[in-house]
């Protein structure tokens, strides 16, 4: 069974979390490169570690490599007034928002130790969220042709509750998903979320009509993540999780 190290980074600036993921990806890629050069016998090869970083970001818009800048609807001056930053990233997908009240999860996994299928990887991430939402009485699903987790996906009221975007290099993943829990949804008004103009965005708080225990959501998500990936999670307390 694969072991995944879980680290709760608390509130962390987007760029710092991105740098951390890139560093852990490089760690795995260096091991794979050494194996390819046969610098060490395969029997003695260093294991490639798996990580799952959980965090929350200050207000930030991020644009995927295939996204359109036109989907950011405000200028730099307005972003400064809103105290929101902006990053062009190397993940897939278009533009999205991260901020307080949102659970962000960044798995850094070597999929060669799980399954080498990016489509399956995305569906598995979605399943962990779908199972978690069900624990709160929220039924969700998938929208054909789109990533992420949606409510009422087959109706005109379809709305996204969890956005996703990933990058993979030699089957090592970075970036991940963002689940709206108690998120201030007004920040989505300044973008075309995920480049989809005719669909809405929602949160657990909005759907349930009450504030939601974010720590409880996180715990249930971790349980479901371990379940769908058939892995063992090893967790560090948030106060001691090392970057």
**Residues with catalytic function:** 194
Answer yes or no: are the C-beta atoms of 154 and 14 closer than 8 Å. no
DSSP per position, 78-92: HHHHHT-EEEE-SSS
User: If residue 227 lies in a helix (H) or strand (E), which one and from where to where?
Assistant: helix 214-229
| Residue 37 neighbours by CB distance under 10 Å | 8
Measured CA to CA, the distance from residue 172 to residue 185 in angstroms comes to: 32
Residue among 98, 20, 17 at smallest CA distance from 62: 98
The token duo for 78 is: 């307005």
Buried b (16+ CB within 10 A) or exposed e, 43-63: eeeeebbbbbbbbbbebbbbb
The token duo for 16 is: 């710092």
Position of tokens 């669909």? 199
Measured CA to CA, the distance from residue 36 to residue 9 in angstroms comes to: 33
Return the beta strands (E) in 109-211 as ranges: 149-151, 159-169, 172-180, 200-201
């Amino acid at each position: 069974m694969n072991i995944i190290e879980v680290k709760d980074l608390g509130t962390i600036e987007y760029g710092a979390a991105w740098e951390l993921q890139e560093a852990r990806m490089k760690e795995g890629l260096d091991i794979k490169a050494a194996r390819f050069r046969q610098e060490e016998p395969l029997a003695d090869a260093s294991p490639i570690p798996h990580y799952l970083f959980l965090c929350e970001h200050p207000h930030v818009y991020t644009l995927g490599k295939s996204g359109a800048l036109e989907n950011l609807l405000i200028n730099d001056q307005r972003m400064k007034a809103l105290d929101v930053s902006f990053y062009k990233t190397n993940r897939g997908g278009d533009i999205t928002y991260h901020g307080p009240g949102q659970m962000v999860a960044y798995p850094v996994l070597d999929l060669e130790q799980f399954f080498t299928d990016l489509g399956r990887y995305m569906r598995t991430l979605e399943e962990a969220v779908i199972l978690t939402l069900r624990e709160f009485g929220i039924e969700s699903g998938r929208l054909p042709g789109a990533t992420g987790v949606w409510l009422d996906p087959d109706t005109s009221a379809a709305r996204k509750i969890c956005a996703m975007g990933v990058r993979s290099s030699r089957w090592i993943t970075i970036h991940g998903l963002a689940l709206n829990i108690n998120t201030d949804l007004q920040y989505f008004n300044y973008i075309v979320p995920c480049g989809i103009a005719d669909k809405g965005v929602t949160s657990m708080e909005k759907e349930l009509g009450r504030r939601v225990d974010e720590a409880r959501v996180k715990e249930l998500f971790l349980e479901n993540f371990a379940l769908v990936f058939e892995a063992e999670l090893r967790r560090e307390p948030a106060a001691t999780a090392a970057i």
